[in-house]
Structure 1
């Protein structure tokens, strides 16, 4: 079976930073609702510590990152709606998420992305197309013992498959008629397993949009 999670950037199976480019911090905008800022200033217990540990941040940087994400989240939502079928995904850039990158399949969208407060990037495939590819990959690998982890990487505009038998996985994908240009198979020894006894675990996310599915063969 396949489990799909929508997470805020590249696939985060464990708490991991996918975008860590250094740049100066950005102050929060007055447009951020007071309730959202209050929630960021009082994050769930352990969240700041986890950000510091996994992203290598100071406590101040972790707080700045959360505030920047709160500031940019409405921008991402607005641009996602405006771009519609041309939307190619989005992600935060900078160790403290000081800027938002929004991908589109049409270069004519770049001015409005910039005007809204984001950075534009032109890609070949929309997020909807990548989601369809993930579904095709899920179906093709549903009974395959390899390639159990697959996800949309919006930064590379591809569906990524982690497999301990890359050649065999590629053969299955090609035989299923999945567009090979939209898929990247990465050698990996990852052996995901469901944690049915996990309690609590309020997540934090390090990006904006991505799709991740983990298949478990039975």
Structure 2
């Protein structure tokens, strides 16, 4: 239940690829088994998850367990409201360090009582999620052929806009204006982020840490000339330590090292 840039439980794992130009990413949070009560799932989370939450979000054990319980409790509410609001739905996200509040955005103020009645906080915004995705599709079409407009683009449900990161912000704005994109629905941010393909990866493909831990591919990253990928914090060891990762089939990929996360936000588009 994360947006395109969502941070799984606010924790990431930096995987340094030592010999390949590989670069996978965020491992999906383990889903609660349907026959396991929420409280039991929180008491027995995937190995290392509680420790990762404590380390990266600076929580104690009780707070980490409370956060997991809140997310487990609120996730079905988000799914229910997404269905009930239909075209009015404009995204949702967890608020608070312990994910104690589910914020649900809508374009229709008459939905507010329904949202509140199910235990979420309503927020009335200008654009629905469908409209935001349509704006992003128009942006993608406008920028696809211009190499000077290389950028990172995503729907940001919290600001109810499509965010574009580019070191050529003025060029981007001019191209969008010429393509008749609604600039009121866009936020262009000057940034050096420059995505490029490093390996043929499919989101959700498995990889393995050590002999027993199975995680999932997300997206690739680089730091200077170092190639790697991002994954969930509980998939690795504390910062400074190392563990071996393998792909599928189990061929050696890289060495993994955990790194602290700057944010505790979880978001649901």
TM-score normalized by structure 2? Answer: 0.62
Aligned length: 190
Q: 1:67 aligns with which of 69, 74, 93?
A: 69
Matching residue of 2:266: 207
Tell me: CA distance 1:82–1:33, structure 2 relative to 1, closer, same or farther (3 Å). farther
Tell me: CA distance 1:191–1:42, structure 2 relative to 1, closer, same or farther (3 Å). farther
Question: Greater CA deviation, 127-136 or 146-155?
Answer: 146-155
Matching residue of 1:44: 46
CA–CA separation in structure 2 for the residues paired with 1:13 and 1:144: 30
Is the 8 Å Cα contact of residues 8 and 206 (structure 1) preserved in structure 2?
no
Matching residue of 2:89: 87
Tell me: CA distance 1:167–1:15, structure 2 relative to 1, closer, same or farther (3 Å). farther
Q: 1:184 aligns with which of 177, 182, 187?
A: 187
Matching residue of 1:174: 177
Q: For residues 92-127 of structure 1, give each alpha carbon's deviation from its aligned partner in whole angstroms, at most 9, with x where no partner exists.
A: 110010010111101111111111110000000000
Q: 2:133 aligns with which of 131, 134, 138?
A: 131
Is the 8 Å Cα contact of residues 10 and 155 (structure 1) preserved in structure 2?
no
Is the 8 Å Cα contact of residues 101 and 118 (structure 1) preserved in structure 2?
yes
Deviation (angstroms), 1:144: 3.2
Is the 8 Å Cα contact of residues 40 and 66 (structure 1) preserved in structure 2?
yes
Q: 2:160 aligns with which of 157, 167, 171?
A: 157
What is the Cα-based RMSD across aligned positions, in Å?
A: 2.8
Structure with more helix by fraction: 1
Tell me: CA distance 1:119–1:156, structure 2 relative to 1, closer, same or farther (3 Å). same
CA–CA separation in structure 2 for the residues paired with 1:114 and 1:87: 14
Larger radius of gyration: 2
Matching residue of 1:109: 111
Matching residue of 1:28: none
TM-score normalized by structure 1? Answer: 0.75
Deviation (angstroms), 1:193: 4.2
CA–CA separation in structure 1 for the residues paired with 2:66 and 2:141: 41
Tell me: CA distance 1:95–1:84, structure 2 relative to 1, closer, same or farther (3 Å). same
Question: Greater CA deviation, 38-47 or 181-190?
Answer: 38-47
Structure 2 runs not aligned, ≥5 long = 12-33, 209-214, 217-230, 233-263
Deviation (angstroms), 1:177: 1.6
CA–CA separation in structure 2 for the residues paired with 1:15 and 1:138: 29
Deviation (angstroms), 1:208: 3.9
Deviation (angstroms), 1:70: 0.5
Tell me: CA distance 1:193–1:34, structure 2 relative to 1, closer, same or farther (3 Å). same
SS at the partner of 1:199?
strand
Structure with more strand by fraction: 2
Deviation (angstroms), 1:209: 2.0
Q: Which has the higher contact order (CA 8 A, sep 6+)?
A: 2
CA–CA separation in structure 2 for the residues paired with 1:78 and 1:14: 21
CA–CA separation in structure 2 for the residues paired with 1:56 and 1:187: 30
CA–CA separation in structure 2 for the residues paired with 1:89 and 1:132: 14
Deviation (angstroms), 1:14: 8.7
